[in-house]
Protein backbone atom coordinates (compact mmCIF):
# COMPACT_ATOMS: atom_id res chain seq x y z
CA UNK A 1 0.00 0.00 0.00
CA UNK A 2 1.35 3.41 -0.89
CA UNK A 3 2.16 6.03 1.70
CA UNK A 4 -0.51 8.38 0.33
CA UNK A 5 -3.23 5.73 0.68
CA UNK A 6 -2.17 5.09 4.26
CA UNK A 7 -2.33 8.83 4.95
CA UNK A 8 -5.86 9.01 3.54
CA UNK A 9 -6.91 6.09 5.71
CA UNK A 10 -5.63 7.84 8.85
CA UNK A 11 -7.50 11.00 7.84
CA UNK A 12 -10.69 8.94 7.43
CA UNK A 13 -10.19 7.23 10.81
CA UNK A 14 -9.73 10.53 12.61
CA UNK A 15 -12.71 12.07 10.78
CA UNK A 16 -14.88 9.20 12.04
CA UNK A 17 -13.55 9.64 15.57
CA UNK A 18 -14.40 13.34 15.51
CA UNK A 19 -17.82 12.80 13.90
CA UNK A 20 -19.03 10.35 16.52
CA UNK A 21 -17.40 12.03 19.52
CA UNK A 22 -20.70 13.78 20.23
CA UNK A 23 -23.47 11.18 20.67
CA UNK A 24 -26.11 13.14 18.75
CA UNK A 25 -28.25 10.01 18.46
CA UNK A 26 -28.55 9.92 22.27
CA UNK A 27 -29.88 13.47 22.60
CA UNK A 28 -33.12 13.39 24.51
CA UNK A 29 -32.59 9.78 25.60
CA UNK A 30 -33.16 9.38 29.33
CA UNK A 31 -31.73 5.86 29.50
CA UNK A 32 -29.57 4.95 32.47
CA UNK A 33 -27.18 2.05 32.93
CA UNK A 34 -25.43 1.27 36.23
CA UNK A 35 -26.55 4.61 37.60
CA UNK A 36 -25.05 6.74 34.81
CA UNK A 37 -26.77 8.16 31.71
CA UNK A 38 -26.12 6.35 28.43
CA UNK A 39 -24.51 9.42 26.87
CA UNK A 40 -21.86 9.36 29.61
CA UNK A 41 -21.14 5.68 28.94
CA UNK A 42 -20.80 6.58 25.27
CA UNK A 43 -18.14 9.18 26.13
CA UNK A 44 -16.27 6.77 28.40
CA UNK A 45 -16.17 4.10 25.70
CA UNK A 46 -15.36 6.59 22.95
CA UNK A 47 -12.44 8.04 24.93
CA UNK A 48 -11.08 4.50 25.39
CA UNK A 49 -11.40 3.77 21.66
CA UNK A 50 -9.77 7.10 20.80
CA UNK A 51 -6.86 6.33 23.13
CA UNK A 52 -6.30 2.96 21.43
CA UNK A 53 -6.44 4.51 17.94
CA UNK A 54 -4.05 7.29 18.96
CA UNK A 55 -1.65 4.69 20.37
CA UNK A 56 -1.73 2.84 17.03
CA UNK A 57 -1.18 6.11 15.20
CA UNK A 58 1.88 6.97 17.30
CA UNK A 59 3.35 3.52 16.65
CA UNK A 60 2.74 3.40 12.89
CA UNK A 61 2.32 6.88 11.42
CA UNK A 62 3.63 9.51 13.82
CA UNK A 63 6.07 10.98 11.26
CA UNK A 64 3.35 11.90 8.74
CA UNK A 65 3.96 15.45 7.55
CA UNK A 66 6.56 16.19 10.21
CA UNK A 67 9.73 15.91 8.13
CA UNK A 68 10.96 19.38 7.15
CA UNK A 69 12.48 20.66 3.92
CA UNK A 70 15.72 19.03 2.86
CA UNK A 71 15.31 16.15 5.30
CA UNK A 72 14.86 12.60 4.13
CA UNK A 73 12.90 9.84 5.74
What pLDDT shows up at residue 66? 60
36/21 Cα distance (integer angstroms): 18
Question: Between 65 and 27, whose confidence is greater?
Answer: 27
Torsion angle in degrees (nearest 10) through CA of 64, 65, 66, 71: 110
Torsion angle in degrees (nearest 10) through CA of 16, 60, 68, 15: 0
The pLDDT mean for the chain works out to 85
What pLDDT shows up at residue 58? 87
Is the confidence at residue 69, as pLDDT, over 70? no
pLDDT-derived band at 61, boundaries 50, 70, 90: confident
Q: Which pTM does this prediction carry? A: 0.73
Averaged pLDDT, 30-46: 91
Number of residues that this document lists for the chain: 73
Amino acid sequence: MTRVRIDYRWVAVFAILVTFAVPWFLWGDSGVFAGLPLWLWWHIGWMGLTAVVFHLFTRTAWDRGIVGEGESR
